[in-house]
Amino acid sequence: MTDREKHEIWQQLEKMQGGLCAYCESELTEKRHIEHFRQRSSFAKLSFEWENLFGSCNREDSCGKFKDKQSYDPNDLIKPDVDDPDRFLIFLTNGRIVPRDDLDGEELKKARETLRVFNLDHDRGPLRFAREQAVKGYLQTIEEFQELAENYPKKDLIPLLRDELEKIEGLPYFTVIRHAFLRFL
C-alpha cells in the first residue's frame, strides 16, 4: 500500500470514527495504525474491504496491536461498526468495563472475549486510568443532575441531559462519561 493510499484511507477512517480509536475511544495521534478486524494472515481477501478496516491507537498493551497477538474467533468479538457496545458492556466511573448483567451465554461470551482480546479492562493499565480521569471531570455535573432529579420530574430534565450528552459526543472516552450520566439519573 502506498503512502497516498494510506493517507486516503486515514481520511475516511477519521471521518467515520471522529478521530478516535475504534476500540478504546482514545484520541488517535500520529502513532496509530490501520487495524484489520479480521487478521490479514487469516483473511487475506478482506485486507482492503472497508468492513474490515478500523483506525486503532498504537498501544502495545490494548486494542488492535494487542489483539493481533491473541488467539480468538472474530465472530466472538463486538464489531464496532455492527454491534452496539452498550448492549454488551457497562463502563464504570473507576475506568473499568464489565459485561452487562443481563446477557445470555453467547452475548456474555462476546463481551468477555472483546474485553480479553483487546485488553480493554486491564486493572492497572493506562487505558483504565485515562477513562477514570475523563469521567472525573464530569462528576460534579453528574451530582448536580442527580440533585435536580430528586427535586424535579425526570421529564423536565431530559432536554438538559440531552444537551449535556451532545456536548460530550465525540470526546475521547465519551462512552464512560455517558454511562456515568445515565447511571446516576
The two counts, helices (H) then strands (E), for the chain are: 8, 4
Amino acid at position 65, single letter: K
State pLDDT tens for residues 29-62. Answer: 888 999 999 988 888 898 889 999 999 998 999 9
Please identify which residue in the block is written with the cell numbers 421529564: 155
Domain boundary at 132, 150, 175, which?
132
Residues 112 and 76 in one domain: yes
Same domain, 124 and 71: yes
Same domain, 45 and 89: yes
Q: What is the mean pLDDT of residues 141-166?
A: 90
How is the chain split among helix, strand and coil, in percent rounded to 5? Answer: 50, 10, 40
Please check whether residues 91 and 161 belong to one and the same domain.
no
For residues 13 and 65, state if they share a domain: yes
* Residue 157 clears pLDDT 80, i.e. is over it: yes
Full residue range of the structural domain in which residue 160 is found:
133-183
Please tell me the pTM assigned to this model.
Answer: 0.89
Are 51 and 138 part of one and the same domain?
no
Q: Which of 52, 43, 65, 72 is nearest to 9 (CA)?
A: 52
Contacts 24+ apart (CB under 8 A), 46-52: 50/12, 51/81
The alpha carbon torsion through 1, 38, 172, 117 (nearest 10 deg) reads -130
Three cell numbers, residue 90? 457497562
- Determine the pLDDT at residue 185: 62
Answer yes or no: do 75 and 18 share one domain: yes
- Residues 137 and 126 grouped into a single domain: no
Q: Calculate mean pLDDT across residues 14-28.
A: 95
The overall average pLDDT reported for the chain is: 92
Say whether both 84 and 19 belong to one domain: yes
Please, are residues 60 and 66 in contact by the beta-carbon 8 Å criterion?
A: yes
Angle between helices 154-168 and 174-183 (to 10 degrees): 170
Residues 16 and 36 in one domain: yes
The number of folded domains in the chain is 2
Domain identity same for 19 and 31: yes
Do 12 and 32 belong to one domain? yes
Q: Which amino acid is at 160?
A: L
Pairing of strands 97-99, 89-91: antiparallel
| Domain end marker among 117, 132, 147 | 132
**Among the three residues 132, 157, 175, which one is the final residue of a domain in this structure?**
132
